[in-house]
Amino acid sequence: MRIDVLGIGFDNLTMDEAVAEGLRLINAEGAHYVVTPNPEIVEVCRENPAARDAVNGADLVLPDGIGVVKGAAMLGTPLKEKTPGIEFAGYLMEKMARQGKSIFLLGAKPGVAEMAAVRLGQQYPGLTVVGTHDGYFREDGPIVEEIRQSGADCVFVCLGAPKQELWMAKNGLATGAHLLCGLGGSLDVFAGTVQRAPEFWSRHGLEWFYRLCKEPRRIGRMMKLPLFLVHVKQEKRRK
Ligand code: UDP
């Protein structure tokens, strides 16, 4: 059973359990997708029912950061741990490499996915990157066809939220891949164009603050974080 945080149902899994489930889905029949909402996305989903349906319709819903884990604890229904999308993807690639699986990288600015492909190929020998495409395209059809032709087992869909969740819900099946993972800005990190916060910051639940210092233009989006806490407190009182 999923744990509800303001209308989004989260799977209550450790990172190991989440990765094992991801691998199982890659080897299962049909198409599946993973989402990793943070408080900002939970807030977006409160106002956007289509985004909420796409997020709740995922086969795996993982809490991306400490905010959602804190929110769940405040509501009296704690989640085991945070399972950030980018770390989930790293562990999953390790396992996929051992099984000789293939991935397609979709998203980010032109050139970034190609750079990520080179670096990931070196980092995870055994994993084949069978295709890449930037995230600034007009029509879905040709991209879906390109992925289908590539025969990828897994697709990293990095278009930002909620665009990537809506894209996966709509196109996942037609790509022919078994697993699609919505991973926000992860390709920029894999390519080396954006640095993740040093461990000190993430260990203290301050990764969001580090990102804000690096990219002050995120302030508008990040104002959703205090709003999320207000809504969690309201929900707690209501319960
Ligand atoms: N992006 C994209 N297509 C778009 C809009 C965004 O490929 O139409 C990419 C953008 O270049 C970036 C990622 O999506 O690589 C979103 O990054 P952001 O940091 O906003 O996502 P988060 O990790 O916060 O979800």
Please indicate whether residue 109, judged by its CB atom, sits closer than 6 Å to ligand 1: yes
80 inside domain: yes
235 inside domain: no
129 inside domain: yes
154 phi/psi in degrees, rounded to 5: -140, 145
Distance 122 CA to ligand 1 centre (A): 24
Q: Determine the straight-line distance between the first and last CA of the chain, rounded to whole angstroms.
A: 19
Kindly state the greatest CA–CA separation across the chain. 52
Q: What average pLDDT does the segment 105-123 reach?
A: 98
* Alpha helix ranges (H) inside the chain: 15-26, 39-47, 49-56, 66-74, 85-98, 112-123, 140-150, 163-175, 186-191, 199-203, 207-214, 219-222, 224-238
pLDDT of 60 over the 90 cut: yes
Using a pLDDT cut of 70, give the percent of the chain over it. Answer: 100
239 inside domain: no
Q: Whose CA is nearest to atom 10 of ligand 1?
A: 108
pTM comes to 0.94
Indicate which CATH number applies to the domain containing 78: 3.40.50.10700
Q: Do the beta carbons of residue 107 and residue 157 sit within 8 Å?
A: yes
Question: CB-hemisphere CA count at 13 Å for 137?
Answer: 19
Host domain of residue 40: 3-196
DSSP-assigned beta bridge partners for residue 131: 104
Q: Whose CA is nearest to atom 20 of ligand 1?
A: 160
pLDDT of 146 over the 90 cut: yes
Distance 52 CA to ligand 1 centre (A): 18
Please indicate whether residue 162, judged by its CB atom, sits closer than 6 Å to ligand 1: no
- Supply the DSSP symbol for 182: E
pLDDT of 210 over the 90 cut: no
Please indicate whether residue 159, judged by its CB atom, sits closer than 6 Å to ligand 1: yes
Per the structure, the count of domains in the chain is 1
Confidence of residue 199 (pLDDT cuts 50, 70, 90): confident
